Structure 1
Amino acid sequence: MALAAAAALAIGLAAAGCGGDSGDKATGAGQGGFRVPKVPMQKSLGKGEGQVNLVAWAGYAEDGSNEKTVDWVHPFEKQTGCKVNTKIAGTSDEMVALMKTGQYDTVSASGDASLRLIASGSVAPVNTALVPNYADIFAGLKNKPWNSVNGVPYGVPHGRGANLLMWRTDKVKQAPDSWGAVFDPNSPYKGKVTAYDSPIYIADAALYLMSSRPELGIKDPYALDQKQFDAAAALLKQQRGIVGEYWSDYTKAVQSFKSGDTVLGTTWQVITNYVLDAKAPVKAIVPKEGSTGWSDTWMIAAKAKHPNCAYQWMNYIVSPKANAQVAEWFGEAPANAKACQETSDEKFCDTFHATDETYFSKVHFWTTPIAQCLDGRKDVKCVDYAKWTQAWTAIKG
């Protein structure tokens, strides 16, 4: 991972820019306390440039190469004449680093990357008038702290989901209901526990401490003062003794659960799907403490070389049919409300709580930590992402 680049961007997030602009008006200081760099908003769509370069999570731009029947890229290419070139990224830090190269037009950024991209001037505000399908996006996904600044959208919501606790039902004797299972220093599954390999995983420890150590006063796992942060880091250093593998490549996580090298740990629904398809007995849940999670947003590069094809892609990928296909393949709640009418499984949106805001109120979506405490505290500074990155390196050793 480009940890140095991520740290530099995080520092920039705390003190980015001196002015802001979204098209014709200045946005000034963002809700996170940073000022938005001057990046113009596209006014109108022109002719497609013939191609579009994506940075995406695995499973978001399927072209039939992984499964012949799973292909929404070729229909887009046929419809628009824009050839899709996809670079798969394993982590948000990698996405940020790739977008900084200037080689890519759009990215499916999660909340722990989106604010960094905005603050660094790497992405532009999105003209939603050029994205007709934006009108049908769930209201619960629009104008959130991780995809907008002062009401100005910087992307098109793609979907959302929770980070889950998964275990091998044939190996773990007692079904866990708490994240405490992955933080127990005396775990009988020492060496077979897995955790997500990213500084943002510190939030998972903070989330657990919210209920296990209420005296710390943690209200938001992404808004940690020094004492709270030190407690989360200490818990993760303790956890290091039982972790057999940290994962960022979901295919390796799948293989590890399939083989039994891993029997317990953090997962995504797509990993669960693959492991179950391989006939390995697993179960995944949102534990009683709730969970962290992702809400991904398609963002357009500030200096996109193929902006018209990028806008066409953003509109297409959240169209009802395509959004339904992605959601079912990846295992997440779709962003487009009309996608629920297009899923092959008529109960899919119920299963993934697509319309259930009460369910998602238990999910703390990835958000970039900054010095201005995101929980509203004014009398103390919080630990920013640069320090999260440094701490994560030390935690893993």
Structure 2
Amino acid sequence: MHRKLSKIALATLLLATGAAQAQDNTLRLLTWADYVPKDVLEQFTKETGIKVEVTLSNNEEMISKLRATAGAGFDLAQPSQDRIAGPQTEFGIYKPMDLSKIQAAQFIPSMLEATRINTTVAGKVYAVPHIWGTDGLVVNTKTSKATDYADLCAADNAGKVSMRLKRPTLIAFAFSMGKNPFAAYNDPKAYGALMDEVGKKLTDCKANVKFYWDGKDQLLAGMRSGELTTAMMWDTGGWGLNKTHPDIKFIAPKSGALGWVDTFAIPAKGKNDAAAYAWINFNMRPEIAAKVATSAGNFTAAKGGEQGMDPVLKQQFAASFPEAALKNIKWYPAVPAGLEDIEGRVLDRVKAAK
């Protein structure tokens, strides 16, 4: 009887050990589209033996998924740097980074330091930078003279513009109205009043909107077909269109393009931190970072990563961002807890308005 029980116990132990080993060889990654090129994934697995399970998402969904599980289900996530401190303060969905396991020399020092500051909560750092870019205007210069976000509401663009009903649109319109929404971040009452003002502007602008975009394919098709004259869009979306439609250009708005940085952050109940750090350090190698940045069409926080990037993209960046426009980029600071609730209510009112 004891021998039989011992065999059962041994079998159970072997199964558990096998499951643990399988877990140790898998990285569950919650990330953005185009951040995991096939050749990069295959090279990582070949070098480390670690398999990567990729789930595509965006900022809102990442927070929602991790909040629903208290930070379980994934070993590594890639939220934007401004979306970490608030959710961490409210929901505790991330664990502090062990910076001793990060190969800091691979990062552009200024970006590593800026992200450290923006993602610090109670003295602990929760992310390191990966990919960065901007949002602004994509304009068909044959049919539109738009130079700032407010021009989306101009009479000559009636029924021919697109934007997202998400917080970047609120922030962008606030700047175009001569306000600084970031300056009101620590005053919920003032911020709420400003968002109400922006919401009214967006409601008045609804007649100009052909559609509120939520997926890139619809938006890009609308610009290509001429259905849209102007849209709020990310920079590389505009540069990609420009390659086949020279009249379509990404423009840094007069009130400032919005600058974002997507990061690496470790969920609170991630089970494979070793694989997460291995993936981070692998991705920040200059030659790997260049491949990922080229796939994403954006820029990398890896030191030397720009050397291997598409020269056409570099030229387009220079055309869209002369020195004054580059200095005028409005970089997102960390979003304090509770502000997204204010924004959500305003966006819901805009969506429901007739």
TM category (shorter chain) comes to 0.7 to 0.9
- Equivalent in 150, 155, 165 of residue 197 of structure 1: 165
> TM-score, length-normalised on structure 1?
0.72
Is the CA contact 2:182–2:333 (under 8 Å) kept in the aligned structure 1? no
Query: Cα distance, 1:171 vs. partner?
Result: 2.9
Identity among equivalent pairs (%)? 22
Distance 1:257 1:227, change over 3 A: same
Query: Cα distance, 1:136 vs. partner?
Result: 2.9
Q: Distance in 2 between matches of 1:309 and 1:81?
A: 10
- Equivalent in 333, 344, 350 of residue 395 of structure 1: 350
Partner secondary structure for residue 183 of structure 2:
coil
Q: Which amino acid aligns with 1:80?
A: T
Structure 2 counterpart of 1:98: 65
Q: Distance in 1 between matches of 2:140 and 2:52?
A: 37
Distance 1:350 1:269, change over 3 A: closer
Question: Counterparts of 1:167-206 in structure 2 under 5 Å?
Answer: 167-172=139-144, 174=145, 176-184=146-154, 187-206=155-174
Q: Is residue 2:183 matched to residue 1:220?
A: yes
- Equivalent in 229, 241, 263 of residue 275 of structure 1: 241
Q: Distance in 2 between matches of 1:349 and 1:48?
A: 44
Is the CA contact 2:150–2:173 (under 8 Å) kept in the aligned structure 1? no
Deviation sequence 1:239-263 (CA, Å, 0-9, x none): 2221112223223222222222222
Structure 2 counterpart of 1:127: 98
Distance 1:258 1:303, change over 3 A: same
Query: Cα distance, 1:281 vs. partner?
Result: 3.8
Structure 2 counterpart of 1:49: 24
Q: Distance in 1 between matches of 2:271 and 2:318?
A: 36
Query: Cα distance, 1:330 vs. partner?
Result: 2.2
Distance 1:148 1:348, change over 3 A: farther
Q: Distance in 2 between matches of 1:95 and 1:204?
A: 22
Question: Counterparts of 1:235-274 in structure 2 under 5 Å?
Answer: 235-274=201-240
Query: Cα distance, 1:58 vs. partner?
Result: 1.3
Distance 1:56 1:299, change over 3 A: same
Q: Distance in 2 between matches of 1:283 and 1:370?
A: 34
Between 1:95-104 and 1:135-144, the stretch displaced more is 135-144
Deviation sequence 1:26-47 (CA, Å, 0-9, x none): xxxxxxxxxxxxxxxxxxxx99
Is the CA contact 1:194–1:262 (under 8 Å) kept in the aligned structure 2? yes
- Equivalent in 150, 154, 177 of residue 126 of structure 2: 154
> TM-score, length-normalised on structure 2?
0.80
Partner secondary structure for residue 181 of structure 1:
helix
Query: Cα distance, 1:351 vs. partner?
Result: 3.6
The structure having more radius of gyration, on CA atoms, is 2
Query: Cα distance, 1:362 vs. partner?
Result: 2.1
Deviation sequence 1:352-388 (CA, Å, 0-9, x none): 69xx9986552223345437xxxxxxxxxxx722111
Q: Distance in 2 between matches of 1:180 and 1:264?
A: 11
Structure 2 counterpart of 1:285: 251
Greater RCO structure (CA 8 Å; 6+ sep): 2
Q: Distance in 1 between matches of 2:245 and 2:313?
A: 22
Distance 1:318 1:50, change over 3 A: same
Deviation sequence 1:28-72 (CA, Å, 0-9, x none): xxxxxxxxxxxxxxxxxx998111111111111121xxxxxxx32
Question: 5+ residue gaps in structure 1?
Answer: 1-45, 64-70, 212-216, 372-382
Q: Which amino acid aligns with 1:391?
A: V
Q: Distance in 1 between matches of 2:73 and 2:323?
A: 37
Q: Which amino acid aligns with 1:388?
A: E
Query: Cα distance, 1:158 vs. partner?
Result: 0.6
Question: 5+ residue gaps in structure 2?
Answer: 1-20
Distance 1:386 1:367, change over 3 A: farther
Is the CA contact 2:239–2:316 (under 8 Å) kept in the aligned structure 1? no
Structure 2 counterpart of 1:12: none
Question: Counterparts of 1:1-397 in structure 2 under 5 Å?
Answer: 49-63=24-38, 71-89=39-57, 91-100=58-67, 101=69, 102-119=72-89, 120-133=91-104, 135-144=106-115, 145-149=117-121, 152-172=124-144, 174=145, 176-184=146-154, 187-210=155-178, 220=183, 222=185, 224-279=190-245, 281-345=247-311, 348=314, 351=317, 361-367=327-333, 369-370=335-336, 384-397=339-352
Q: Which amino acid aligns with 2:97?
A: V
Q: Distance in 2 between matches of 1:117 and 1:125?
A: 13
Partner secondary structure for residue 296 of structure 1:
strand
Is the CA contact 1:123–1:302 (under 8 Å) kept in the aligned structure 2? yes
